[in-house]
Amino acid sequence: MNGHPWPSNVGITAIEVYFPYYYVSQDKLEAFDGVSQGKYTIGLGQKNMGFCGDHEDINSLCLTVVHNLLKKNKIDPKNVGRLEVGTETIIDKSKSVKTVLMQLFQDSGNTNIEGIDTTNACYGGTSALFNAINWIESSSYDGRLAIVVIADIAVYAAGSARCTGGGGAIAFVVAPNAPIVFDQGMRATHMEHVYDFYKPNMASEYPVIDGQLSVKCFLSALDKCYQRYGEKFAHAKKQEKEMFSISDIDYMVFHTPYCKLVQKSIGRCVFNDFCRNKNNNNDYELLQKYQDITLEESFTDPVLFKNIEKACVECSRKIYVEKSQPSIYLAENIGNMYTPSLYGSLISLLINKSLDDLIGKRVVLFSYGSGLASSMFSVTLCPDETTKESFSSLLESLSDIKTRLVSRKEIEPSEFVGILQLREKVHNSKEYQTVCSPKDLFPDTYYLTHVDEKFRRFYKVSNNTDE
């Protein structure tokens, strides 16, 4: 280990969050789109949706969140040995976002930083995180910090999916002796080939979507990962007499393309428990009629699937409220951030529960990216007394999130559509000066000023006095 002791309690020591200054009300968007009242707000569980103007791109989001992470936590840039980026927002087929971020380390002279971009829909951030953990736990580790940047801009073509957009960036410092520790040996993964959501048109930001297939793939992947995580949990805890179940989990957070899917996911975990434990199903009276249905068979008939889903949601309401509802706060108010979505759910949990409700608790995370890649893993919050002070400081660093959400600028739906049309028109343009005002940004936000004749992009930092 190059003179360094073998690292223990590897996890998250600092967190920074960035989300767009612009947002649109989902309630107003329902009226503007002419859909039934409650379709977005009740049906999908959304309140507001953040979005970016033409002066923000994936580079600017990542520059902002890493700059603020370094500044707020007084991190010496020389002490960073790995920088990983997870994103599916691609603006260059060759040059990585990570290389753009290296300008933040230029003054320090630190060019010795490993890591690069990782891409697979909403799973790229999880893969980047795993890469950072693996580096610290490997013989390549040199004792310095790892930073993981997870960011995306989620926009859709006009139509039924547009209301499920969003955007944002989250950055973590990963290091040993952390207050949020990744549970060793507790990763479960499921991957397969499917076209449920993909972006084959390089000239457009918009994806191709099969919505029904995507939900089925999400829940099927959840089945596989939940089963495999349960096996690893039971092995780690040497459980012999009792099966793993959702009762073994303190909190559970999910990738959240829309908030209602979290409630359905908790219900699906309960259905997994029901199917595995047929001899002791008295707690699930509403599911008794489905005693002979397997997990795979539940997907074969759309009517049967919906009936099971409703029954599962109904009998898991209390579990959902206790274990997952506190995690949907950012998703409700920002929308689907793609790769940062899962980690926004973790952060929402941290800012919505008290210190006493969090210390010593295990949080299980389910990551899903279309195409598809998925994993379930867990963290333990403040596992010992020595990290209590650092855990409290980490929570304090997140205390401004709700204030920042309230201070955003609301954009009317007609202007929202106009800004998305502008983004669509200038996507991949050269010799372009951005139109949206840098005054419409939070202070200390990097923004795109122009793209030159060679497609090179140039950025400044807002201070809310720009003309």
Strand partners, 118: 86
CA dist., res. 312 & res. 308, Å (int): 6
SS3 11: strand
CA dist., res. 278 & res. 74, Å (int): 54
The active-site residue out of 16, 56, 88, 205 is 88
CA 445 to centroid of chain Cα atoms: 21
The active-site residue out of 55, 67, 190, 255 is 255
CA dist., res. 129 & res. 84, Å (int): 7
CA dist., res. 359 & res. 204, Å (int): 45
SS3 339: coil
CA 325 to centroid of chain Cα atoms: 16
Is the separation of the CB atoms in 167 and 147 below 8 Å?
no
DSSP label at 327? G
CA 148 to centroid of chain Cα atoms: 12
Residue 395 CB neighbours (<10 A) = 19
Annotation marks residue 55 as catalytic = no
The active-site residue out of 55, 62, 84, 122 is 122
Which residues are CB-neighbours of 85 under 8 A, at least 6 positions away?
62, 96, 97, 98, 101, 115, 116, 117, 118, 128, 148, 149, 150, 151
What are the phi and psi torsion angles at 301 (to 5°)? -120, 120
Annotation marks residue 122 as catalytic = yes
CA dist., res. 69 & res. 77, Å (int): 11
Is the separation of the CB atoms in 21 and 443 below 8 Å?
no
Structure tokens at 447: 């923004």
DSSP label at 350? H
What are the phi and psi torsion angles at 159 (to 5°)? 145, -165
Q: Which residues participate in catalysis according to the annotation?
A: 88, 122, 255
